[in-house]
Structure 1
Amino acid sequence: MSDPRDEDDDAALFRDAIGPVRKLPESPPPPMPARPRARARMAERDETAARDEFRLALDEHLAAAGDVLAWQDGLPDSVYRRLRRGEISAQEELDLHGSDARTAEALLRAFLSDAQRHGLGCVRIIHGKGGRGDADVGSSGAPILKNMVDRMLRQRASVLAFHSAPPAQGGTGAVVVLLAPPKRR
């Protein structure tokens, strides 16, 4: 066993060799990570609830395969009548046949944005009648793509009006859409 006095002597020798010591100033603590930005959680919940209620309300009025899609927002009757009759020609066309609902929704959003950005006034969207298989028709028996197109067009601020195409242009399996001119900056 070692003698405890030897250990004291070692500590005393060490302190003598080092000399006087002074205490270092305390360093500031490391910076805290930034606090997350405040979120309006109640507003997000309200918006989600409103969106769900809106979808449920739309699901109550689903269009059938042969139903005509029609909607206008403050457009003069003479212009809407011309659209309905097929007298306004479509400048571009989007065919959604064979697309699943999620892909079709993304394609439709991009198509409408691109059409408005390029100043197109009228476009045609072919959604089909939904009678080709189980993938085309929802559990309610209503055509999925047709109702998705109807719902999306009603929500877009750039859409002035739409109506199912005349029989020669696709009938109730397509819709002709009148777009607002692009906003000037």
Structure 2
Amino acid sequence: MPRRKLTAEEIELWRKVTKQAERLHPELPQSVHPTTLPKPKPTKAPKFRLEGFEVGQNAQVKPVRHALKPSVTDNLRASPVQMDTKAFGRMKRGKLKPEGKLDLHGMRVDTAHPALIRFVLTSQAQGKRLVLVVTGKGKDRDEPGPIPTPRGVLRNQVPHWLSIPPLTQAVLQVTPAHISHGGDGAYYVYLRRNR
């Protein structure tokens, strides 16, 4: 839209306003007429190319990829192997027999965490290398809601507890158990040698 010039009435009104108003910077010189701003220069619009688009054709929409948090078992499976690779392969196939087992079924978080700490540290003190921690798969929520919630509180908390002190110094590797030892409802915990 082009700018219009001020009329004589508008200029006279402006002069009356400026006589009554106090100047913010009295040291600056006063101009007789208000200056008009220069016309804005048009900016160049970016050029978009539509290749092979016909009127009435639907545009191809790229599918949106959602960055959902991977499950705990997927994170454990993707973590690097810290122990002997041969023993790790045998453990994943269910060929290594766990030397100890802790069943956390039916426990609450406040009782399960101290029980896990006690079990892992005593197992390491006894010289055990592979223990099994059974958490269960957890219950589904009664009402599915819009926000996805992880299934099983202990199933999601146990790997975290094993990666923080005081258990981080005792644990070498954590991985989901073979189906013969509980599958996704249990974890193999490979312990460091007691020194």
Does 2:181 align with 1:179? no
Q: How does 1:35-46 map to 2 (within 5 A)?
A: none
> For 1:123, which of 131, 142, 148 is the aligned residue?
131
C-alpha contact (below 8 Å) 2:94/2:180 kept by paired residues: no
C-alpha contact (below 8 Å) 1:162/1:178 kept by paired residues: yes
TM-score by length of 1: 0.56
Number of positions where the alignment pairs a residue of Structure 1 with one of Structure 2: 119
Distance 1:62 1:114, change over 3 A: farther
SS in 2 for 1:162: strand
> Which residue in the other structure is 2:179 paired with?
167
C-alpha contact (below 8 Å) 1:83/1:163 kept by paired residues: no
How far does residue 100 in structure 1 lie from its aligned partner after superposition?
A: 0.7
> Which residue in the other structure is 1:63 paired with?
71
> Which residue in the other structure is 1:8 paired with?
none
Query: Does 1 or 2 have the higher relative contact order (CA < 8 Å, sep 6+)?
Result: 1
Distance 1:73 1:160, change over 3 A: farther
C-alpha contact (below 8 Å) 1:90/1:124 kept by paired residues: yes
TM-score by length of 2: 0.54
Distance 1:76 1:124, change over 3 A: same
Amino acid at match of 1:170: G
Distance 1:103 1:63, change over 3 A: farther
> For 2:156, which of 143, 147, 160 is the aligned residue?
147
> For 1:105, which of 99, 110, 113 is the aligned residue?
113
C-alpha contact (below 8 Å) 1:128/1:146 kept by paired residues: yes
Distance 1:67 1:74, change over 3 A: closer
What are structure 1's unaligned runs of at least 5 residues? Answer: 1-59
Sequence identity, in percent? 29
Which has more helix, going by share of residues?
Answer: 1
C-alpha contact (below 8 Å) 1:94/1:124 kept by paired residues: yes
Mean Cα displacement is larger for which, 94-103 or 124-133?
124-133
Q: How does 1:13-52 map to 2 (within 5 A)?
A: none
Higher-Rg structure is 2
Supply the distance in 1 between the matched residues of 2:121 and 2:139 (Cα, whole angstroms).
29
What are structure 2's unaligned runs of at least 5 residues? Answer: 1-67
